[in-house]
Structure 1
Amino acid sequence: MNVVLKDDVAIGVESLATKYPIVDWKTYILNENMMYYQIIKADGSSKNYKIFSEMLEDFDRQDVMDLHKLVQERYETTSPEGYDLLLWEDLKTLFEPNEEDKIWKNQHDYNLISWRLFDSCGVHVLLMNTGVAIHMMIEKKYPLTQEMISRMLNRRLEVDHESEMAF
């Protein structure tokens, strides 16, 4: 029997908490009314999502930033089309709010259904009766009208659990 000092042993252990960055995404269209985004991580794992808001349930802040960077890089020289356009617009609204965009100009036409906070990534989601979802980072300023802010406060914020961010 030999005594081996711990410092001399190299063990290839990977923590269960290891976080892999998002390295790609793909859009799959199943038929006219069904599609999904496949989000691919550096370890080769992937997960499928129907809409951006579903991603926010699993994402942290870095995941959101990684996806935004990937989408920006892919569409530096070309324009997104189809469902990729939806993802691109959601991320553009989130990271680059512009009061000239129609989503902000048409606020008076929206009836707010819910106001939710995804605490893990720090993103608010306003869901409207038209199906429009407005995604907003907690620390950014967005061109919300006084009327929309009143609707948000009357609706009250929905959170999955108590958090300082929500308060």
Structure 2
Amino acid sequence: MRRTLNIYLVIHIVYKVSSPDGDYLVIYRANGNFRAFNYLMEILHIFDRLDLFHLYDLIRDQFSEVTLEGFELILWGDLKIMMESSTEGNEQSDFWSDQQDWKIVTWRLYESCGVCILEFEDGIVIHMLVERRYPLSKDLLQRMLNLGLEVERESSVAIDLIRFIKQQINEE
């Protein structure tokens, strides 16, 4: 059974480190342990849902007065779209345009943190909370279903997500 870090209880500091291999965000826990990563997808295996919300709050607060670039900007963009995008009052409408051109490669569920991921042929990756509605077109939702959801094991979360997608298609 996989354990999560539950950083929302023990996080001490988050900061950026540059190395010859690239830039990383390092999360130090109060007990001295740390974890480095440079993409949101890397942490979905070890974080639970509360960890993600806490990470979002920390990054928003810590980087609010800093000009972001490189991987920090990508990480913030991924978190912002995941946490703030919705069908009502969407400020990021440009991001969601041209869905007819999106070529999905994988649709994957990370059950421990309640996130599903769409990966596209051009390298774009979208992280979405399973219970939240995003401004996805009926056509894209249908293509997701046709592709099939990749899961580690069959679960009620996966079945509920598929039902949720089917319900959205039928509502339009």
Q: Could you state the TM-score of these two structures normalised by the residue count of structure 2? A: 0.78
Q: How many residues align?
A: 151
Give matches, 1:1-167, under 5 Å. 19-21=6-8, 22-31=11-20, 34-97=22-85, 98=90, 100-167=92-159
C-alpha change, 1:102 and 1:118, in structure 2 (3 Å) is same
CA distance in 2, matches of 1:39, 1:83: 15
C-alpha change, 1:66 and 1:42, in structure 2 (3 Å) is farther
State, as a whole percentage, how many aligned pairs show the same letter: 35
What is the SS of the residue equivalent to 1:58? Answer: coil
Could you say what the CA RMSD is over the residues aligned between the two structures, in angstroms?
A: 2.2
Contact 2:56 2:79 in 1 (8 A): yes
- How far does residue 77 in structure 1 lie from its aligned partner after superposition? 3.0
What is the SS of the residue equivalent to 1:127? Answer: strand
The one-letter code sitting in structure 2 at the alignment partner of 1:154 is N
* Higher helix residue share: 2
CA distance in 2, matches of 1:152, 1:25: 35
What is the SS of the residue equivalent to 1:165? Answer: helix
- How far does residue 74 in structure 1 lie from its aligned partner after superposition? 1.6
C-alpha change, 1:114 and 1:163, in structure 2 (3 Å) is same
Q: Could you state the TM-score of these two structures normalised by the residue count of structure 1? A: 0.80
Gaps of 5+ in 2: 160-172
Higher mean alpha-carbon deviation, 72-81 vs 20-29, is at 20-29
CA distance in 1, matches of 2:125, 2:19: 23
What is the SS of the residue equivalent to 2:133? Answer: coil
Which structure has the greater CA radius of gyration?
1
The one-letter code sitting in structure 2 at the alignment partner of 1:30 is S
C-alpha change, 1:107 and 1:30, in structure 2 (3 Å) is farther
CA distance in 2, matches of 1:40, 1:93: 25
C-alpha change, 1:138 and 1:43, in structure 2 (3 Å) is same
What is the SS of the residue equivalent to 1:26? Answer: strand
Contact 2:39 2:71 in 1 (8 A): no
Deviations 1:122-165 (A, max 9, x none): 00100111111111111111000112101100111011122210
Gaps of 5+ in 1: 1-15
Higher mean alpha-carbon deviation, 21-30 vs 131-140, is at 21-30
